[in-house]
């Protein structure tokens, strides 16, 4: 089977001796919507930088649609579109020129380049801004410009490094819808994100990376099965002075007077309500405290940090 992205034993040691990647393996199937998660400095951007030729690897193999970047780099690059974390276009150039120029770098003749530029600028709501210098765009527009630029040669694999950083909620949702549509049409998508709700909402498979090693690489469904407990916030009809004693559950008062209840995996919410009823408490509304993936992510990263600390002692 040819994977959209195949990484084997990838290592990266920077000039100052810092080991950013410690031999990671990763496979992303064609058509997948894949998230690479990890705290700052975990190795996400280094990994994507190596795949997109912006960082030189120290050792290991990287293949894009079966094309090895050591022996068949041009073919590997043709299959790849990259949306980096930082704005990396010429701020003085016009939106249309930036995207058309990128198409030219991929060898698209001018007429085809212009057609493709028009298509993606329209799809990303930037057509009205086509003659505007890039520096005049808002942050969200700049992000969309980078997506249009990455797609102009119609790659099979789109890599997005923090695509919605600094983007307001409404725009983020519209970008999600756009990416989901691209994925439905067959584009494989890999993203890194700090918004774990984004990964939970969009991705089918997830890898968690920390300190240059992959901690988990599995489907979102299997990952979420590992979650042992969830926190629910209950808004009560009558305010409480202190946290009530709920039989079999851990409960505490939140700053706004709401009640936070920890529910272990396998226990039903009916049991919680029974315990609340026994205390004479009436619940008006209920929500989860944070998204499930975020909790799992934090648990894994904290466990890994503890292990790292122990191994250095």
Partner 1 sequence: MSPSAILVAFNTILVREIRRFTRIWAQTLLPPAVTMTLYFIIFGNLIGSRIGEMGGFDYMAYIVPGLIMMAVITNSYSNVVSSFFSMKFQRSIEELLVSPVPNWVILTGYVAGGMARGLSIGVIVTMLSLAFTQLEIHHVAVTMLTVVLTSALFALGGFINAMLATKFDDISIVPTFVLTPLTYLGGVFYSIQLLPEFWQAVSMVNPILYMVNAFRYGILGVSDVNVVFALSMILVFIAILFTVALQMLKRGKGIRH
For residue 130, give Cα distances in angstroms to 136, 143, 198, 253: 11, 14, 29, 52
192 near partner 1 (CB under 8 A): no
Select 7 or 275, whichever has its Cβ closest to partner 1: 7
14 contributes a contact to partner 1 by CB under 8 A:
yes
DSSP-assigned letters across all residues of the chain: ---SEEEEEEEEE-TTS-EEEEEEEEEE-TT-EEEEE--TTSSHHHHHHHHTTSS--SEEEEEETTEETTT-HHHHHHTEEEE-SS--S-TTSBHHHHHHHHHHHTT--HHHHHHHHHHHHHHTT-GGGTTSBGGGS-HHHHHHHHHHHHHTT--SEEEEESTTTT--HHHHHHHHHHHHHHHHTT-EEEEE-S-HHHHHHH-SEEEEEETTEEEEEEEHHHHHHT--EEEEEEEESS--SS----TTSEEEE-TTS-EEEEEETT--HHHHHHHHHHTT--EEEEEESS-HHHHHHHHHHHHHHHHHHHHH-
82 binds partner 1 (CB under 8 A): yes
Nearer to partner 1, 14 or 70 (CB): 14
Select the residue interacting with partner 1 from 2, 41, 59, 107 (CB under 8 A): 107
The reply to whether 73 sits near partner 1 by the rule CB under 8 A is yes
Q: Which of 41, 59, 70, 105 binds partner 1 (CB under 8 A)?
A: 105
- Select the residue interacting with partner 1 from 23, 30, 60, 106 (CB under 8 A): 106
Tokens of 274: 């029974």
Where does this chain touch partner 1 (CB under 8 A) — which range of 85-93, 187-195, 214-222, 280-288?
85-93
Does position 101 interact with partner 1 (CB under 8 A)? The reply is yes
Q: Determine the interface stretch with partner 1 among 83-91, 205-213, 276-284, 285-293 (rule: CB under 8 A).
A: 83-91
Considering only 2, 90, 226, 308, the residue that binds partner 1 (CB under 8 A) is 90
Residue 1 found at the interface with partner 1 (CB under 8 A) = no
Position 89 contacts partner 1 (CB under 8 A):
yes
Residue 188 binds to partner 1 (criterion: CB under 8 A) = no
Nearer to partner 1, 89 or 232 (CB): 89
Task: Identify which range of 34-42, 94-102, 174-182, 202-210 contacts partner 1 by CB under 8 A.
Answer: 94-102
Near partner 1 by CB under 8 A: residue from 86, 241, 256, 310: 86
List interacting residues with partner 1 (CB under 8 A). 14, 49, 52-56, 73-75, 77-78, 80, 82, 84, 86, 88-92, 97, 101-102, 104-110, 149
């Amino acid at each position: 089977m040819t994977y959209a992205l195949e990484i084997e034993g990838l290592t990266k040691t920077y000039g100052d001796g810092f080991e950013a990647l410690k031999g990671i393996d990763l496979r992303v199937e064609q058509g997948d919507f894949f998230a690479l998660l990890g705290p700052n400095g975990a190795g996400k951007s280094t990994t994507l930088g190596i795949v997109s030729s912006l960082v030189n690897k120290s050792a290991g193999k990287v293949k894009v649609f079966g094309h090895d970047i050591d022996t068949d780099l041009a073919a590997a690059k043709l299959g790849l579109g990259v949306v980096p974390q930082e704005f990396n276009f010429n701020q003085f150039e016009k939106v249309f020129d930036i995207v058309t120029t990128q198409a030219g770098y991929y060898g698209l003749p001018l007429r085809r380049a212009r057609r493709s530029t028009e298509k993606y600028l329209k799809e990303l709501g930037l057509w009205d801004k086509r003659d505007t210098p890039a520096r005049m765009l808002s942050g969200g527009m700049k992000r969309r410009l980078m997506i249009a630029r990455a797609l102009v040669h119609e790659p099979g694999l789109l890599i997005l490094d923090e695509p919605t950083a600094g983007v307001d909620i409404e725009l983020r949702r519209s970008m999600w819808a756009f990416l989901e549509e691209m994925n439905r049409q067959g584009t494989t998508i890999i993203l890194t994100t700090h918004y774990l709700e984004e990964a939970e909402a969009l991705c089918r498979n997830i890898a968690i990376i920390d300190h240059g090693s992959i901690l988990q690489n599995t489907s979102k469904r299997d990952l979420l099965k590992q979650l042992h407990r969830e926190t629910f916030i209950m808004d009560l009809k009558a305010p409480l002075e202190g946290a009530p004693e709920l039989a079999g559950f851990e409960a505490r008062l939140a700053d706004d007077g709401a009640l936070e209840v920890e529910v272990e995996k396998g226990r039903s919410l009916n049991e919680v309500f029974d315990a609340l009823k026994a205390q004479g408490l009436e619940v008006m509304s209920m929500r989860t405290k944070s998204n499930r993936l975020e909790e799992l992510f934090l648990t894994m990263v904290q466990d890994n940090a503890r292990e790292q600390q122990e191994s250095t002692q």
